[in-house]
Amino acid sequence: MLCTGAAVAAVGAWIGWAGWANLMAQQTAPPPPPGNAKAGQTLFLKIGCYQCHGNEGQGGAAGPRIGRSPMLAFRNFDTYVRAPRGEMPPYTTKVLADKDLADIYAYLGSLPPPPAVDSIPLLKVGP
């Protein structure tokens, strides 16, 4: 088995971040459709979102943070998921219904904020 190199992964991740950052800059704030957060959490793990974004949408080497950082407007979220401009695989309506996407969005919106960084002694930088 072979895995892709760190440099390729890093560049790929950057493209994802850059595409996502552009969307963040362009977003307006239409109201999101109603969604079921619990069903969304199940879907988030079932269809592979966690693979790049982490179980709590916290982000990773292959995908940006997408939970509460702040939340992307649903319209831009939907646009990106259906036809990503970066590295993310596309999720069409054939494999992910609009309602399911709304559930995933609701799950991401339901995530609690993280603890303040200064409240975590282990995250002190350096020796």
Partner 1 sequence: MSQKKKPTRRSFLTSGMMAGAAAIVSPVAAAAQEPSSSSADVEVLTTDSCGSDYMVDVIKSLGFEYVCANPGSSFRGMQESIINYGGNRNPEFITNCHEESSVAMAHGYFKAEGKPMAVLAHGTVGLQHASMAIYNAWCDRVPVYIMLGNYVDAAVRRPAEWYHGVQDCAGMVRDYTKWDDQPASLIHFGESAVRAYKIAMTPPMAPVVLVLDATLQESPQDSKTKLPIPRLTMPALPQGEMGAVTELAKLLVAAENPVLVADRLARTPAAMPLLIELAETLQAGVIDQGGRMNYPSLHPLNQTQRAAAAVGEADVVVGLEVADFWATVNSLRDQLHRSTRKVTKPGAKLATITTGDLYIRSNYQDFRRMADVDLAIAADGEATLPALIETVKRLISGDRKRAFQERGMKLAEASRSARERMRQAATYGWDASPLSTARVAAELWAQIKNEDWSLVSNYYSEAGVWPRRLWDFNKGYQWLGHAGGGGIGYGAPSSVGAALANKKHGRFSVSLQTDGDLMYAPGVLWTAAHHRIPLLSVMLNNRGYHQEIMHVQRMCNQRNRGVDRGTMGSTLTDPNIDFAKVAQGMGLHGEGPITDPKDLGPALRRAAAAVKRGEPALVDVVTQAR
Give the binding site for partner 1 (CB under 8 A): 1-12, 14-15, 18, 46-48, 50-52, 54-62, 65, 67, 69, 86-87, 89-92, 94-96, 114-117, 120, 122-123, 125-127
Q: How far is the CB of 31 from partner 1 (least distance, A)?
A: 25
Q: How far is the CB of 30 from partner 1 (least distance, A)?
A: 26
Q: How far is the CB of 24 from partner 1 (least distance, A)?
A: 15
For residue 45, give the amino acid letter.
L
In the complex with partner 1, the residue whose CB is nearer, 30 or 69, is 69
Look up tokens 């995908």; give the residue: 63
Could you tell me the sign of the dihedral formed by the alpha carbons of 29, 32, 37, 41, in that order? negative
Q: How far is the CB of 26 from partner 1 (least distance, A)?
A: 20
CA dist 15 and 26 (Å) reads: 17
Residue 31 burial (10 A CB sphere; 0-12, 13-18, 19+) = exposed
In the complex with partner 1, the residue whose CB is nearer, 30 or 90, is 90
